[in-house]
Amino acid sequence: MKNVIFGLAVTAAVAVASGVSARQADTLMGDARRQNGLEAEMSRLRQASPGSAREGVCPLVRGASADVNAYVAARMHQVARQAGATYAKRACEPNVVVLFSAEPDVLIREASRAKRFNYRGVPAEAAEAFKADGRPVRWVHGGDVRGSAAGDARPHNALIVVDAAKAQDVKVSALADYLAMVSLADVRVRPAPADSIMTLFDASHGTPKALTEADQAYLRSVYRAR
């Protein structure tokens, strides 16, 4: 991603989790030591250009328990592969960053104050909407100085912040699928199907708890349009 939201001086490795069976509330945020570590991780953010997701999706997931971090990253890997997206196989500069936080507004405010994020390539109104977003999951996608074709829904990078308190009653597997969807496709450029994991936080009892067949077809169509 050439016009970047964030830069990272961190090398990410994708760990494959065997699964997460404990209740979400018990595992989502991890212990206090891990939470204090999130701010240390954030302090390593810098203004630089990570690799473009066009050159391989490279996720960094931090802030939850170790099992949840690993599970989300592994699920992103699986969904990206199934969609036909290129996935970075070696050490890489992260271009999809997922941060879990019990205080997301504080996290984003402090990151902005310390210039750990920048929003070059993002319309001003999109950056402000991201900062003020009160939903359980908020995200913003970076731009590209080369531009992109109309209707191209493949992000060049993604910054995703999860409000752990608001997401604590959602199953980890469902949340991971939701995060994979918003990291791999810009649903504002090309709307997701009606029957979609994107309705996860809706009140309806019929809300899908995993990527639907329509979601998977949608993602494949996004990554066929190269």
* Residue bearing the bigger pLDDT, 116 or 150: 116
| Mean pLDDT score of the chain | 75
Overall pTM surpassing 0.75 (yes/no): yes
CA-atom Rg of the chain in angstroms:
16
- Whether the per-residue pLDDT at 42 is higher than 50: the answer is no
Q: Report the distance separating Cα 9 and Cα 91, nearest Å.
A: 12
Report residue 77: phi and psi, to 5°.
-60, -50
Name, in order, each residue with C-beta under 8 angstroms of 132's C-beta and a sequence gap of 6 or more: none
pLDDT, residue 195, reads: 92
**What percentage of the chain carries pLDDT values higher than 70?**
67
SS (H, E, C) 183-225: HHCCCCCCCCCCCCHHHCCCCCCCCCCCCCHHHHHHHHHHHHC
> What does the pLDDT look like over 155-175, one tens digit per residue?
888 899 999 989 988 899 999
Quick one: residue 63, left, alpha or beta (phi over 0 = left, psi -120 to 50 = alpha)? left
Query: What is the arithmetic mean of pLDDT over 41-58?
Result: 52
